[in-house]
Structure 1
Amino acid sequence: MNLIARYSTKTFERLKYSNRGLKLLDEAVAADPNNPKIRLLRGKVAYAVPEKHFHRTATAIEDYKFLIDHSMRENGALTEGDSKLVYELGEAYYRIGRNQDAANCWRKLENDPEYGQTAKQKLQSVAGRPAVEEVQSDGLGMSDFMGVIALATGKALLKWVKHEEKKARKKRKKKERRRRKRKH
């Protein structure tokens, strides 16, 4: 569902399939909350969808924390593959204004060969900022998004009405021609 949504070009389809996919993932986690594969899948999807429309960053944080804790219990330390999760967890915290939590994640990566340089840059970007701050929505908020949907719906209705009017005119003209033929 979420892959269909990702590649859909129609706004309504994107929204519909994203919501269905997220609902199915939530049900899967509820059915088996300790399954790391399901948590990874839901966490990745929740991380990828725009916070301003879906408000799923908290879900991504929950799942990523579960996965990192699970890896620590299994391996005794973070593994090479966990670096991306830790980095994205920091990004998720940052998205919702939890700068201190984001910095804590990025500090763990300072010596990481793949994420070390980026983590240091991210740490500089949050230096001196409050531990928690209100994040301003960039771009469309949910009410603006709904306005866009309403506008698209209105345009579709107008197009349909014009089509129906055109069909009715053709029908009237055809009827008028038949009437004239009968007179002659």
Structure 2
Amino acid sequence: MSIKEDWKEDFKEAVALHQKAIDGDKEAAKKAHAILKKLKTDVINNPTIEAYFGSASALVAKDHIDLIEKMNLAKRGLKELDKAVKAEPKNYEFRLLRGNVAFRLPEMYFKRTKTAIEDFQFLISEYKSRNKNITKNLFCEILLNLGKCYQTLGEFEKADQAWNQLLKENNRKYKTLVENAKRNGGESS
């Protein structure tokens, strides 16, 4: 079976590696990026591959030692994520990937906090309309990060609104995280 016919198995492997990379495995980020880069050339115009490639590019950028290459990888990743979201604007998975990447990039250099806010608001709306793919825990994480986004932009009232909505979920873990976020300022570390 050729690689072009067997791309779905490679894609599954790349997604599993991508998750390991999110969990902190730097080597998994590089492997996922390499597989997805090849898949992008084998399977043309597939928004799902583009979205994961964009996210994997940002994960590789995070740990890259060359500052110029770090910036280029992050910009390329955002471009791929934007392309995927443009192709399928109602795809919660693409919005989650792009929102998390935009959230983690320094606002000073990338100016993408508003993109993160847009994606997080979309995901909150999806959760409220009973999208089963967005768990309560994920919803809580999104609210926490939405508040941090607003705080980064100096919109403290909106940050408090997001966090107050989160605190209504009565989860002690988030009470502490909200208190820390209020003390530490907006941008994620």
The TM-score by the shorter chain falls in which range? 0.5 to 0.7
- Residue 121 of structure 2: aligned partner: 65
Query: Where in structure 1 are there 5+ consecutive unaligned residues?
Result: 127-134, 136-184
Matches of 1:18 and 1:121, distance apart in 2: 27
Q: 1:35-114 maps to which residues of 2 (within 5 A)?
A: 35-74=91-130, 79-110=136-167, 111-114=170-173
- Residue 119 of structure 1: aligned partner: 178
Matches of 2:112 and 2:184, distance apart in 1: 24
Query: Where in structure 2 are there 5+ consecutive unaligned residues?
Result: 1-56
SS in 1 for 2:157: helix
| Maintained 8 Å contact 1:106/1:123 | no
> Amino acid of the residue matched to residue 118 of structure 1?
L
Q: Deviations over 1:87-119 (max 9, x none)?
A: 000000000011110000111222223202332
CA 32–113 in structure 1, closer or farther in 2 if over 3 Å, else same: same
| Maintained 8 Å contact 1:87/1:109 | yes
Q: For residue 124 of structure 1, report the CA deviation from its aligned partner.
A: 8.1
| Maintained 8 Å contact 1:28/1:38 | yes
- Say what the alpha-carbon RMSD is for the aligned residues: 2.5
Higher mean alpha-carbon deviation, 4-13 vs 58-67, is at: 4-13
| Maintained 8 Å contact 1:83/1:112 | no
Matches of 2:117 and 2:100, distance apart in 1: 10
Q: For residue 121 of structure 1, report the CA deviation from its aligned partner.
A: 5.8
Q: Percent identity?
A: 35
Q: Which has the larger radius of gyration?
A: 1
- How high is the TM-score relative to the length of structure 2? 0.61
CA 116–16 in structure 1, closer or farther in 2 if over 3 Å, else same: same
Matches of 1:37 and 1:121, distance apart in 2: 28
CA 6–122 in structure 1, closer or farther in 2 if over 3 Å, else same: closer
SS in 2 for 1:80: helix
CA 78–5 in structure 1, closer or farther in 2 if over 3 Å, else same: closer
Q: Deviations over 1:53-102 (max 9, x none)?
A: 00000000000010011011016998232111100000000000111100
> Amino acid of the residue matched to residue 71 of structure 1?
Y
> Amino acid of the residue matched to residue 83 of structure 2?
E
CA 8–75 in structure 1, closer or farther in 2 if over 3 Å, else same: closer
- Aligned pair count reads 127
